[in-house]
Chains A and B, each alone.
Chain A
Amino acid sequence: FDHNISPTIGASFMTKTVPCGNELHKFLIWDTAGQERFHSLAPMYYRGSAAAVIVYDITKQDSFHTLKKWVKELKEHGPENIVMAIAGNKCDLSDIREVPMKDAKEYAESIGAIVVETSAKNAVNIEELFQGISRQIPPLDPHENSNNGAIKLGKQTSQTGRRCC
């Protein structure tokens, strides 16, 4: 939970502004439900987005598998050139980790995604995550003034794991 992110209505839609070079990127972060039940709605959320953050829980191997499914779906049906980032959340609980950092890194490399381990709870690496995405998002038409839609696919339903960004 990052203080720079301001929810107005609720935590499922947020905006975040990230300085990148001499311009500001404004992220409009659309959270989508990760449950199977809502899977069919996901395309509505990632349509037109410039980046996707796919979050898994480092303490749950399952979530890493699910993540792969999302990556596959995004590759097949997502917008072209979407920037993908994989966030292994709950890095504060690394003692009960199930997914080795190495696995995530290798996987991310294989799909050309940004990878970072984060802690939503302690706001670890979240800034870095967005900066990384910012750098990869192609420069926009100046008139658009850096409005990037970024979408987070909140995959896990686990309680503390939800990252809002």
Chain B
Amino acid sequence: MKARCLDKRGSFFKLIDTIASEIGELKQEMVQTDLTVEDESADLRSLVKDMDNVSPEKNDVKSCPRDSGYDSLSNKLSILDKLLHTHPVWLQLGLNDAEAREILQAQPPGIFLVRKSPRLQKKVISLRLPSDCGSCLKEFAVKESTYTFSLEGSGISFADLFRLIAFYCISRDVLPFTLKLPCAIAAAKTEAELEEIAQLGLNFWSSPANSNPPDPPAPRRPVPLDSACKDSRQLCLINGVHSIRTRTPSELECSQTNGALCFINPLFLKVHSQDVGGSLKRQSPRTQDVNGAARPRSPPPRPPPPSINSILTSPQLSRTIKQASMPETVNHKKERGLDLLQNKPTPIPPPRLKKQAVSSEVEGSSKNTVVIRPGCSSVHMPEAAGVPGETLPEPTPAAAKKTVASSSESHIPWNGGRQRLSDMSISTSSSDSLDFDRSMPLFGYEGDTNSSLEDFEGESDQESMAPPLKPKKKRNSSFVLPKIVKSQLRKVSGVFSSFMTPEKRMIKKIAEMSQDKRTYFGCLVQDYVSFLQENKECHVSSTDMLQTIRQFMTQVKNYLSQSSELDPPIESLIPEDQIDVVLEKAMHKCILKPLKGHIEAMLKEFHTADGSWKQLKENLQLVRQRNPQELGVFVPTPDFVDVEKIKVKFMTMQKMYSPEKKVMLLLRVCKLIYTVMENNSGRLYGADDFLPVLTYVLAQCDMLELDTEIEYMMELLDPSLLHGEGGYYLTSAYGALSLIKNFQEEQAARLLSSEARDTLRQWHKRRTTNRTIPSVDDFQNYLRVAFQEVNSGCTGKTLLVRPYITTEDVCQLCAEKFKVDNPEEYSLFLFVDDTWQQLTEDTYPQKIKAELHSRPQPQVFHFVYKRINSDPYGAVFQNNDDSAS
């Protein structure tokens, strides 16, 4: 709805309604109710005044949609939201240098793409430079650490890529100027519009959607400057008069000189943002200044509050910046809230949150949390509040400085009213929270932060732009939240659910997706899980089952990392070297968690069936009865109490579904064992000592389930982890258990005297030699053939002749064996009953032999290989023989 003069009243009331309802929500989430109430009233009052003040201005601006903020209510899209929705447009990891250049060449300066540079093997922001810069685009590499994303050369890290980009849309930090969203995206007011744009994907850049920005870029530049100047002047005037007007966050800077009160209402922020988006009228320049100038450091992710921070020292603040930054305004809306909170502050976030913070969730994006603080609560507050308009500015900064840790709010006294100001701090909970959780990397920046961050101090309005102020505050401690605070924050509301680390969020998202059968991934997982549960017979062994599951997890991981089902892509949320880790955890959650019970039952079933369970049980008892020395232990062993502790750890292990977590527990057990071993001797022990102790301990624990636990871990653990420490100790535990399992056998072997062993060896030898003696069956494959003479058995040979080998073949064989030069002169004869029979080529010698054997009265017979009649030498014999026969 537009706020026109005519509707002014109407819209005003509507606004109030909305505010009231929001406040109602806030109340519910509030930690401290009493404070809130006050605030509310204050807010309302101030709002009212604001509205009044605003109205005149509105008249001027009539045509503009910017209004009382009512619109903003419905339009809650922040920069971050826009980025999230439209990543298919700007996040183009697969784009190469040339393609990126081609796209960006046609775009106005400030437009960017994020892609993965094949050359650098890193993600980069490809930024379109103004045409007078020589080359038309420049690349800024993104550095990914284990937990964070940052731009190379910058000290500010972000939990994910979206936050990084969102920040750089507002603050240039190490960039030559801030990033700019394409007009169509910047101007979009609804998710639907963004979706539409996102649908275009890469085609967006060449589509008419991109070319028809609501606000043509060209005009923008000039406009902002002018308007900025005007605005600022106007503001000054107003401030002087003590009149209250609504200021967009960007305007705040201007008011600082006066020690203006800073009342930042989320609603207004929205409005502001809207304005920016729609008709960038006024504020844009300032915002830019601020952004450009201030680098919020400490709060890693947070963008600095646009309006508030300015750095005197930094040249950036100067107008040049303004000009360049035009595009930023758009972004503002989103960030505003976030920035304010974070930058400001606030080192002492905890207290403030605890005591006085009221958080309301911004509907549009859960990521931004708006914390409204009642003015009084904060340390600064009193000062700020106490000082009326003019004086205020200075005290505030001072206070801020003093209490470095103090909250981040900006205090600007209300000029007009003697009323108190209510400070509002807006924070993006998500980013903050992330930081807290992983605060480590952030801390490093504290030093930097100090200098760069400042509270907002009053700036002089003097120039059209807000002059940069010197950063007064240090933000060092701002991000360290005490635990208590954290937990309280968590309680506050769903808003804070965004406190989850990106990793957890990603895992949660994947887990949710795995439940959703509308996704391919969900179908895969669900079908597999139910298939396994229903088909118990599909695996032949426990190893087979576990390996299949492991394989499935690996495949699904590959699928997820390559498919587009994860939206936004995982690369934008998780640093590259962590992607696999995160996916692995997600697999555990969506596959192993539901299957854990089934797997355990099946393992038990397999082991009962194959007897290994029983074997282990029996041997375990045997081993338990041995003393440590008998097991090869010559170092101190854990006592009863330690064994109990270890048992507890193992029991905890049984409850886990994640093999990684199980391994962690195993490592703790090993650590404990080592501590016991070393505590008492002061030296380092290697495997020679550790393995026996481990065996002893596992036996003392007397837990059959360990067997399946270890199998579960060995087979299901991410194979890449098997090489590390976890893999080593897992191997050791597996080895120790298998020693236990085979204890009896081993003992048996050990007990044999060397004599017995020799006997055993001989026996074994005998057995094997026996086996080489042909059996009856084998006999059938041999044929003893004499050479030349019947009587010369010694010249005969045993040949391998299979049943279906013909006489012809046997003849060939004989020719070879007896080294006959002219085989055609020889043939195979059967001599039986004193008669010679030449066997025809197609007969089967073995059959003949079998037939002879089967005769009731065994006859003496010989197979003879000899010359056929024609042979002069053999002829004699032959003839004789023949005649004989």
Contact = CB atoms under 8 A, between A and B. Distances in A.
Do A and B originate from a single complex? yes
Interface stretch (B51-59, B352-360, B732-740, B776-784): B732-740
A28 B724 contact: yes
A11 B685 contact: yes
Interface stretch (B88-96, B343-351, B666-674, B866-874): B666-674
B731 interface: yes
Q: How large is the interface on B (under 10, 10 to 19, 20 to 34, 35 or more residues)?
A: 20 to 34
B688 A162 contact: yes
A41 B738 contact: yes
Given A13-B729, A149-B723, A41 B735 contact: yes
Interface string A122-160: 000000000000000000000000010100001011000
Contacts of A13: 725, 728-729
Interface in A2-48: 7-13, 15, 28, 30-35, 37-38, 40-41, 44-45, 48
Interface in B656-691: 667, 670-671, 673-674, 677-678, 684-688, 690-691
B476 to A, nearest CB: 32
A44 B731 CA distance: 7
A164 interface: yes
B723 A147 contact: yes
A9 B690 CA distance: 11
Contacts of B739: 37-38, 40-41
A38 B674 contact: no
Nearest to A163: B686
A38 B731 contact: no
Contact of B723 (A1, A28, A38, A44): A28
A11 B678 CA distance: 10
B685 A12 contact: yes
B444 interface: no
Contacts, number: 83
A154 B691 CA distance: 12
Contact of A7 (B677, B684, B691): B684
B686 A8 contact: no
B155 interface: no
Contacts of A8: 725
Given A9-B667, A9-B674, A44-B735, A37 B728 contact: no
B738 A154 contact: no
Contacts of B687: 12, 31-33, 38, 154
A9 B632 contact: no
B292 interface: no
Q: How large is the interface on A (under 10, 10 to 19, 20 to 34, 35 or more residues)?
A: 20 to 34
Contacts of B738: 41
Q: Which of A12, A15, A45, A164 has the most CB of B within 10 A?
A: A12
B732 A12 contact: yes
Contact of B690 (A10, A15, A156): A10
A156 B723 CA distance: 24
A87 B738 CA distance: 30
Contact of B632 (A1, A35, A164): A35
B735 A12 contact: no
Contacts of B690: 10-12, 33
A164 B735 contact: no
B671 A33 contact: no
B723 A34 contact: no
B266 interface: no
A8 B731 CA distance: 17
Interface string B261-293: 000000000000000000000000000000000
Contacts of A163: 686
B692 interface: yes
Contacts of A40: 739
A38 B691 contact: yes
A78 B215 CA distance: 71
Given A12-B690, A33-B692, A48 B728 contact: no
B688 A157 contact: yes
Contacts of B671: 9-10
Q: Which of B674, B688, B691 has the most CB of A within 10 A?
A: B688
Interface of A: 1, 7-13, 15, 28, 30-35, 37-38, 40-41, 44-45, 48, 147, 149, 154, 156-157, 162-164
8 contacts: A7-B684, A10-B684, A11-B690, A38-B691, A41-B738, A154-B688, A162-B685, A164-B686
Given A11-B684, A154-B688, 8 more contacts: A11-B685, A11-B690, A12-B685, A12-B728, A13-B725, A32-B687, A48-B723, A157-B688
